[in-house]
Structure 1
Amino acid sequence: MVKKLTKKVMSAAVVTAAALMMTACSTNKNSSKGTHQDDKTVKIGVNMELSGGAAGYGNAQKQGIQLAASEINKSGGINVNGKKKKIKLIVRDNKTAISTSASVAAQLVNKDKVAAIVGPATTNAGTAEIPNITKAAVPSVSPSATDPDYTKQKNGKVQPYVFRACYQNNFQGQIAAKFAENTLKAKNVAVFADNSSDYGTGLAKAFKKEFKGKIADSQTYSEGDKDFNAVLTSFKSKKVDAIYVPGYYTEVGLIIKQARQNGIKAPIIGSDGMADPKLAEIAGAKNASSIYYTTPFSIKVAEKNPTAVKFMNAYKKRYNEQAPTFSALAYDSVYMIKQAIEDQKSDDSVKVATGLKHIKDFDGVTGKITVNNSHDPEKPIAIEQMTNGKVNKYYNIK
């Protein structure tokens, strides 16, 4: 408490000075919200699964991120209100662990003072970082967190600093169900979902809700499982027309292999977690036929997009391999952050979030992107068909 003044009347000058001091304190407090960059660089953090169960996706995304940052820096950097500033990537491994993802986010926003974060790849790791990035007012763009509730708070309001470059599970599951019914003419379908995360279970729920035919059977498996023969034998006895298998390529590849070895010739439909060349390696090229999966980045579609062609050529030159879907999504995530900074003419993290919120008709390698009110991208989707281990056809869904 302030001691009572001995004089009854305080001079007007003192009152004025006190008011000015209070205003200054208030202004400084408000201006300190978020993180601020130096005159030469824009620090972008990477909170990514570089080891552990989702390392295949994380490392593919890391390559897309590094390619984007390298291109931007070679062209002079990000234009921040007339000044070109280079990107400084700060890459940290969350080890596909929820607790590690939270601590990585804390380091990036509190110690490294990044303007924005790319990642994590998975919904669970992404959700774990939200309290720390929200407290620090630093936006994060996940290339591939697909759970419908990822960008929402428990009260239904949007998470102010959470964005993504991929679709929700609901959308993918609905598209797969319509494709099975309308294109493949399947009437009797089995569902075999990964129950290790919200990814597989969410996709399965959306598929079953949308599919108008009969769900002959619905089973689950867990990350790391190797033997699926018992469930597949049951599916075979039910003479299913197709099997919907939402999950990641590590297990889905084995499911495809064992299904074909069991004499199941029915189409196998999945999600973007299958969109990796390793799927065919695990399944075996001869087994990987009549395989379909939803994807935000189809090579066949991308060949008609000049922005995507430029990306694919640059990726091939740098890494000597075909660009996978997850690299494309991460590449777009970096360029979305660049666009947000340039639109707002500021790399302060709060302004970056505002810029991301207002992205419209962004020319990405995965298609034109507009960020909606839920911080989700509105963009095209495709279904790729695999025959003998190679993508030989695509269906452009509008």
Structure 2
Amino acid sequence: MKLKRIGLTFLASVAIVSSLASATVSAQDTVKIGANYELSGGAASYGQAMANGLELAVEQVNANGGVIDGQQLEIVLFDSQSELTESASVATRLVGEGVVGIVGPATTGQANAQTPIIEEAGIPVILPAATGDGITLDDSGSVLEYLFRVCFEDSYQGAAAAAYATENLGAKTAAVLTDQALDYSQGLTDSFVAQFEENGGTIVTQESYTSGDTDFSAVLTSLLVQEYDVLYVPGYYTEGGLIIQQARQMGITQPILAGDGFASPTLIELAGAENVNDVYFTNHFSSESEEPVVVEFMAAYEEKFGSEPDAFAALGYDAAKLLIDAVERAGSTDPEAVKDAIAATTEFAGVTGTFAIDENHNPVKPATMITLQNGEIVNAELVSAE
């Protein structure tokens, strides 16, 4: 494998996984799982966690005898560097490696850059966390044959957040702060606003910022003089942490709601735990779950990596396990057969929930609303956009 762009720590990890395979069978007998992840750049926190989830899944399956007559799994992973052109380049390289399927990338933009290549090559892809609306469909609205995901769409989680705000928090008015440079942020904004208004609420103001901003004093000052019940900030943790910090220090006390882009430990580091109060975000996974599959995953992950898994590690794990499960159900490493098996999934017991794959290649499952107080998770409950 050509891994020159991967950081040394993860290179060592991949080497360990590969050695598990080579110690048992020769290289030509391994089943190659491709991975296109953002191990560096702006989305590295997501990609690295997903790569950990992949590594754990492969290690467990190999230790339990592998797949299809004992074949071992081999990870072929490249770093997209959080760049669109590099994501497309990585997809091309993975196709050339003869992988049975691909997991990743993490973000919607990266996934869109990869899609034409994998569709032409006929290689199934499972996206762990690319939540953009309609990315499993082509321009005519027809489903893309080889593209699947294990996360819900932006419109679903935006609407779920609005339903939670009105029904659980009793909000009647809301302010919205959108990252104008992110399709992800704009998609969540649109669905939140539509559902909030449908539920009888009023959007008092909609403000914006741009990815990479670090000083939000101007826009927060304008919010400080408005009256509203909740503030919705659909963005990534990189700016979200700073927004929370500056908002709380300026005296903005209203509950802050967000999407799964807040699901990173770095959010707390940037905001300061003392500022992360009454913060809610829709997510795909809760470490507070008592489901046996989650408890076992948590224990295995912490033993291997020395830290608690976040939602992106869980999604990466589920994406890998679904691909592996499809190989086993297909009884074949033919990408066409694997693709058909993924599409036929009816009850996959993942750590992010038990789900089926619908006709548009999306999972059918609820969202989880996470509540943070003093930087700690104090509550997690299922929430629907209905």
Q: If the length of structure 1 is used for normalisation, what is the TM-score?
A: 0.88
Aligned to 1:65: 54
| Residue identity opposite 1:156 in structure 2 | G
| Residue identity opposite 1:119 in structure 2 | G
Q: CA deviation at 1:347?
A: 1.2
Partners of 1:260 and 1:39 lie apart in 2 by: 57
Secondary structure (helix, strand or coil) at the match of 1:84 reads: coil
Unpaired runs of 5+ residues, structure 1, are 1-37
Aligned to 1:209: 194
Alpha carbons 2:208, 2:219 under 8 Å: kept: no
Partners of 1:189 and 1:66 lie apart in 2 by: 41
Secondary structure (helix, strand or coil) at the match of 2:178 reads: strand
| Residue identity opposite 2:117 in structure 1 | N
Trace 1:119-130 onto structure 2 (pairs within 5 A): 119-130=104-115
Partners of 1:143 and 1:107 lie apart in 2 by: 20
- Among 119, 122, 128, the residue aligned to 1:143: 128
Q: How many percent identity over aligned positions?
A: 41
Q: Does 1:265 align with 2:253?
A: yes
Alpha carbons 1:77, 1:85 under 8 Å: kept: yes
Partners of 2:182 and 2:82 lie apart in 1 by: 12
Aligned to 1:245: 233
Partners of 1:391 and 1:71 lie apart in 2 by: 28
Partners of 1:227 and 1:198 lie apart in 2 by: 21
| Residue identity opposite 1:134 in structure 2 | E
Unpaired runs of 5+ residues, structure 2, are 1-26
- Among 345, 357, 363, the residue aligned to 1:371: 357
Secondary structure (helix, strand or coil) at the match of 2:39 reads: coil
Aligned to 1:176: 161
Secondary structure (helix, strand or coil) at the match of 2:105 reads: coil
Q: CA deviation at 1:196?
A: 2.3
Partners of 1:279 and 1:239 lie apart in 2 by: 26
Alpha carbons 1:368, 1:380 under 8 Å: kept: no
Trace 1:1-398 onto structure 2 (pairs within 5 A): 40-78=29-67, 80=68, 83-109=69-95, 111-212=96-197, 213-300=201-288, 302=289, 304-397=290-383
Partners of 1:119 and 1:107 lie apart in 2 by: 14
Partners of 1:167 and 1:396 lie apart in 2 by: 13
The farther-off stretch of 178-187 and 163-172 is 178-187
| Residue identity opposite 2:334 in structure 1 | D
Partners of 1:383 and 1:318 lie apart in 2 by: 27
Partners of 2:191 and 2:81 lie apart in 1 by: 29
Q: CA deviation at 1:319?
A: 0.8
Deviations 1:166-209 (A, max 9, x none): 00001000000011111111112111112222111100010011
Alpha carbons 2:164, 2:383 under 8 Å: kept: no
Partners of 2:231 and 2:217 lie apart in 1 by: 14
Aligned to 1:10: none
| Residue identity opposite 1:77 in structure 2 | G
**How many residues matched?**
356
Partners of 1:158 and 1:121 lie apart in 2 by: 20
Q: CA deviation at 1:39?
A: 6.4
| Residue identity opposite 1:260 in structure 2 | R
Partners of 2:366 and 2:202 lie apart in 1 by: 28
Q: CA deviation at 1:222?
A: 1.5
Partners of 1:347 and 1:220 lie apart in 2 by: 47
Secondary structure (helix, strand or coil) at the match of 2:332 reads: coil
Partners of 2:298 and 2:364 lie apart in 1 by: 22
Partners of 2:225 and 2:85 lie apart in 1 by: 43
The farther-off stretch of 222-231 and 288-297 is 222-231
Secondary structure (helix, strand or coil) at the match of 1:218 reads: strand
Partners of 1:161 and 1:197 lie apart in 2 by: 25
| Residue identity opposite 2:356 in structure 1 | T
Q: CA deviation at 1:338?
A: 1.2
Partners of 2:137 and 2:349 lie apart in 1 by: 25
| Residue identity opposite 2:261 in structure 1 | G
Alpha carbons 2:104, 2:127 under 8 Å: kept: yes
Q: CA RMSD in A?
A: 1.3
Q: CA deviation at 1:396?
A: 2.1
Secondary structure (helix, strand or coil) at the match of 2:309 reads: coil
Aligned to 1:6: none
Secondary structure (helix, strand or coil) at the match of 1:85 reads: coil
